[in-house]
Amino acid sequence: MYEALEAVIPLLVFPLLVLGFMWAIKFLDDRRTRFVEDEEMLSGKNLAVSLRKSGIYLGVAFGLAGTLFGRSKGLPPGDLLNFIQAGFILMALLFVAFVVNDRIILRKVDNDKAIQEGNTALGLVEFASYASSGIIMHGAFSGEGGGILAAGVFFLLGQAALVVAFYLYEALTTRNICEEIEVKKNTAAGMDVAGLLISMAVILRASVAGAFTGWMEGLKGFGIYFVAGLCAVLLFRLLGNLIFVPGTSYDKEIAGDRNISVATLSSTVQVGVSLIIAGAF
């Protein structure tokens, strides 16, 4: 009987705590925005708002799941305290991700206003950015050693890496990605960028997962994963488009025809390949 309770209690406590952190970050984010997001979703059926919120909640779940990897059985106080501490850290870092979105990646428009107006393309990028942040933190929280400082540093490095990947990708395409998303509200372009961000996050998560063995080794490993992973993602993205979107120009499908079907297929293939790349390192 005791063993059964010992197994069941964590299955109730940890999910309830995750819901609590989701609610807390919702409460804070609702007061940050200048419009009522619940009203936009329920009455206005605003998909852009839903995508933003979904990315935040998924980021919380991804990040906190990392603290449970390798934990002891049952519900020791140390595990519970570590989980709660990680939750507060993650909440703060997700607001850092908001600043990165607003001031660095999607910088040409007022993000809150664009989301309120139903810019689904921007909502997709924000969804991917928040979810990607959680994926990276999943790796940072899952290892032993390093503590809060290491988790925070690798989160910031992850944000910088996502920004670099975004701008390098934009430089390599014939499209003005920022204009397509922020001005033209091209949902296909938003899905295209979302696939890139999540793919990179999957690879970067692998670079920070595991035991912390020192700053030199950690930073070196992160750099190698980033450079090699980015090259691999861009290469296999091109190859995937040639295989699965034959007989047409991918850029034309995204910018000219705004083909969300093609963008979704390409992004899914890219994320799938990134899972294999992360495991192969």
Interval 9-31: pLDDT, tens: 677 888 999 999 999 999 998 88
Kindly state the tokens that stand for 25.
């970050």
Q: Is pLDDT above 80 for 71?
A: no
Given a contact cutoff of 8 angstroms between Cβ atoms, the answer to whether 115 and 122 are in contact is yes
Q: Is pLDDT above 70 for 211?
A: no
Q: Is pLDDT above 80 for 153?
A: yes
Mean pLDDT of the chain: 85
Q: Is pLDDT above 70 for 116?
A: yes
Mean pLDDT confidence for 174-182? 87
Domain that holds residue 80: 2-280
Q: Is pLDDT above 60 for 83?
A: yes
Mean pLDDT confidence for 127-135? 93
Kindly state the tokens that stand for 47.
């998909």
Q: Is pLDDT above 60 for 76?
A: no
Q: Which of 196 and 74 is assigned the larger pLDDT?
A: 196
Backbone torsion region of residue 249, taken as left when φ is above 0, otherwise alpha when ψ lies between -120 and 50, otherwise beta: beta
Given a contact cutoff of 8 angstroms between Cβ atoms, the answer to whether 145 and 212 are in contact is yes
| CA geometry: angle 253, 258, 262, nearest 5 deg | 55
Domain count, the chain: 1
Distance (Å, rounded) from C-alpha 57 to C-alpha 21? 9
Given a contact cutoff of 8 angstroms between Cβ atoms, the answer to whether 193 and 166 are in contact is yes
Q: Which of 17-31, 39-53, 95-109, 248-262 is predicted least confidently?
A: 95-109
C-alpha neighbours within 13 Å on the C-beta side of residue 232: 22
Mean pLDDT confidence for 31-46? 88
Kindly state the tokens that stand for 241.
């488009």
Q: Is pLDDT above 60 for 2?
A: no
Could you please report the per-residue DSSP string of 65-95?
HGGGTTPPSS--HHHHHHHHHHHHHHHHHHH
Report the share of the chain in percent with pLDDT over 90: 34
Q: What is the pLDDT of residue 4?
A: 55
Report the share of the chain in percent with pLDDT over 70: 90
Q: What is the pLDDT of residue 96?
A: 85
Q: Which of 106-120, 143-157, 227-241 is predicted least confidently?
A: 143-157
Confidence of residue 126 (pLDDT cuts 50, 70, 90): very high
Residue for token pair 């430089």:
171
Q: Which of 33-37, 45-49, 143-147, 213-217 is predicted least confidently?
A: 143-147
Q: What is the pLDDT of residue 68?
A: 82
DSSP 43: T
Q: Which of 1 and 197 is assigned the larger pLDDT?
A: 197
Q: Is pLDDT above 70 for 8?
A: no
